[in-house]
Chains A and B, each alone.
Chain A
Amino acid sequence: MSNDKDSFNVSDLTSALKDEDRAGLVNALKNKLQNLAGQHSDVLENLTPKIRRRVEVLREIQGKHDEIETKFREERAALEAKYQKLYQPLYNKRYEIVNGATEVEGAPEDAKMDQGDEKTAEEKGVPSFWLTALKNNDVISEEITERDEGALIYLKDIKWCKIEEPKGFKLEFFFDQNPYFKNTLLTKAYHMIDEDEPLLEKAIGTEIDWYPGKCLTQKILKKKPKKGAKNAKPITKTEDCESFFNFFNPPQVPDDDEDIDEERAEELQNLMEQDYDIGSTIREKIIPHAVSWFTGEAIEGEEFEIDNDDEDDIDEDEDEDEEDEDEDEEEDDEDEEEEVSKTKKKPSVLHKKGGRPQVTDDQQGERPPEC
């Protein structure tokens, strides 16, 4: 091939970068890569005429296959949309019951009428429904701190929908009016590179409009001034800390003109994969089976899978150590699980969480300090 084709035109790329024209950058890269792919296609140039002819016929067959595959994807998308539509009335009913917009049939038992009436006045719907559902999922519960729970009590619905341009999906978290932030809706959108694989291009979250002094992703530190200092007032400082609400401030790919080293790139990738894991867990598990997570029934299946992995047992124990040891019931659970884990030796194969402990180590390096 000619040298012109082989050479990579840096000025093309430079102008694309300066314009901050991502589309231009993509096109420039694609053009160069097509040339590179052309080199790989030396396969064709080295073939005898008859073999080349056969390859041409094979390419036609491949073209037919790809057409059929496109129809398959269309039909599959239509099928998925059909069922999402069928689920919607059920999600609406769930919303109404959870938030007390609709009362269920069946009068309260007469014998407890007074008590029932009294509490009904206080408790509408199913209090802490979504908070409880989220806490019962191991992937999500790792993100929720005790401080977060006060805000998550006001969470009244979670929805997801597909995004077409660019391809991806969006999660919507609906909150009642609450003393923490002004937003009634927080969203998280994932833009994907490919339809069939979880290749994430970027993630975007709502900016949370916290009320003064209520920000859950930061904590206020007060330092006493050094003895003898003229200024006797304590110094206050805000510091980032762990919170579920960091979910709405996802890791960002750096700007094009910012250099990033290999190690940093890898850490960033791990963080983004972890963030995507949380989002897809909410979309695929929490939203469709919220009631089963609330009651704990969903944990049954998960527990069986998770407890096959020693690694995960340790993670659970670490979580439980942080809870009040005064809770006798929890102590029983902990003892039971320790006993169980001694008899289970097989590692869980390909369990997503099992693959994360390495990433969890990054939490020590990358995560804000514990609140």
Chain B
Amino acid sequence: MSNDKDSFNVSDLTAALKDEDRAGLVNALKNKLQNLAGQRSDVLENLTPNVRKRVDALRDIQSQHDELEAKFREERAILEAKYQTLYQPLYVKRYEIVNGTTEVELAPEDDTKVDQGEEKTAEEKGVPSFWLTALKNNDVISEEVTERDEGALKYLKDIKWCKIEEPKGFKLEFFFDTNPYFKNTVLTKSYHMIDEDEPLLEKAMGTEIDWYPGKCLTQKILKKKPKKGSKNTKPITKLEDCESFFNFFSPPEVPDEDEDIDEERAEDLQNLMEQDYDIGSTIREKIIPRAVSWFTGEAMEAEDFEIDDDEEDDIDEDEDEEDEEDEEDDDDEDEEESKTKKKPSIGNKKGGRSQIVGEGKQDERPPEC
């Protein structure tokens, strides 16, 4: 091939970078990579004429396959959309019952307790703490929810997801009642994907939360006593980032193009983004479709069976439960069980995350609130 093709034109790239034209950068990179791919196609140039003719025939067949595949993807997308449409009325009914917009019919056995029921009904509308409870019963999500978060998550009244077409991806929407923590009534999280079929994330974006003064759950206020003998006797206050479910709405971001990033940092960042995506896809694929089963704990049955096969996960659970005194009984039970289970869970996502969770928390996570 000619040398012109081989050379990488730095000025092209420089111009693209200066313009901060991402599309331009993508095109420049793609053009260069096509040339590189062209070199790999030396396979074709080294073939005899007959073999080459056969390869051309094979390429025709491949094109036919790719056309069929495109139709398959269209049909699958239509099928998925059809069923999402069928789910919607059920999600609406769920919302109405959870939030007390619609009352259910009374069953006969409730008659004898009508007085007590009516008294409490005045206080409790719908199903209180429905979404908070559902989230806490999922191991992946419960690791993110702190005790301080629970006060705010009580006001969570619905979670929805929808597809995004341009760019490809999906969005999660968290609907909150008016509450004393933040002004937003909807918090959203979007994931922009590179590829339809694989979880290759390009970027994630979250709503900026409009906290009321002194109510920010992703930061905590530290007060330090001044040193003895110091002229200033007022305590020094300082804000420090801390763990919170609401950090979910400030996802890790890919650095700007002109910022250099070293290998280790890149790897840490990638792990954090994978972890963030795992949370988002858990909410989309498990919590939203089966919120009631998570609320009642029924969904944990199958999950527990899968997760408890992994000793690593048992340890994670123990760590969580040590924070809660009421769970001491469960704690003992889990420890007893873990002694009798020796097989690692194969391919369990959470099992694969333990390494990441452990390292990430130590190095990257804000300190415990």
Contacts and interface: CB of A to CB of B under 8 A. Distances in A.
A and B bind: yes
Interface of A: 6, 8, 10, 13, 29-30, 32-34, 36-41, 43-44, 48-51, 53-59, 61-62, 64-66, 68-69, 71-72, 75-76, 79-80, 83, 86-87, 90, 93-94, 97-98, 103-106, 108-109, 112, 115-116, 119-120, 123, 125-127, 132, 136, 193-194, 196-202, 253-254, 256, 258-260, 262, 265-266, 268-270, 272-273, 276, 284, 288-292, 294-297, 299-300, 303-305, 307, 309-311, 314, 329, 332-333, 336-337, 339-340, 343-352, 354-355, 357-358
6 contacts: A50-B124, A53-B107, A94-B62, A260-B343, A294-B43, A304-B29
Interface in B333-369: 333, 336-337, 340-349, 351-352, 354-355
Given A292-B62, A310-B266, 14 more contacts: A13-B340, A33-B304, A43-B295, A65-B90, A66-B290, A79-B79, A123-B51, A200-B347, A254-B342, A270-B352, A295-B43, A295-B44, A337-B36, A346-B257
Contacts, number: 343
Contact of A266 (B267, B269, B305, B355): B355
B11 to A, nearest CB: 12
A58 B83 contact: no
A72 B49 contact: no
Q: Is the interface of B mostly helix, strand, loop or mixed?
A: helix
A216 to B, nearest CB: 24
For the complex of A and B, 6 pairs with smallest distance between CB atoms: A40-B297, A296-B40, A200-B347, A347-B266, A265-B344, A291-B62
B182 to A, nearest CB: 27
Contacts of B79: 72, 75-76, 79
A69 B288 CA distance: 13
A48 B301 contact: no
Contacts of A55: 127, 292, 295-296
Given A55-B296, A307-B33, A349-B273, A116 B121 contact: no
A311 B266 contact: yes
Contacts of A123: 48, 50-51
A353 B148 CA distance: 37
A59 B342 contact: no
Interface in B68-123: 68-69, 71-72, 75-76, 79-80, 83, 86-87, 90, 93-94, 97-98, 104, 106-107, 110, 113, 116-117, 120-121
Contacts of A333: 36, 39
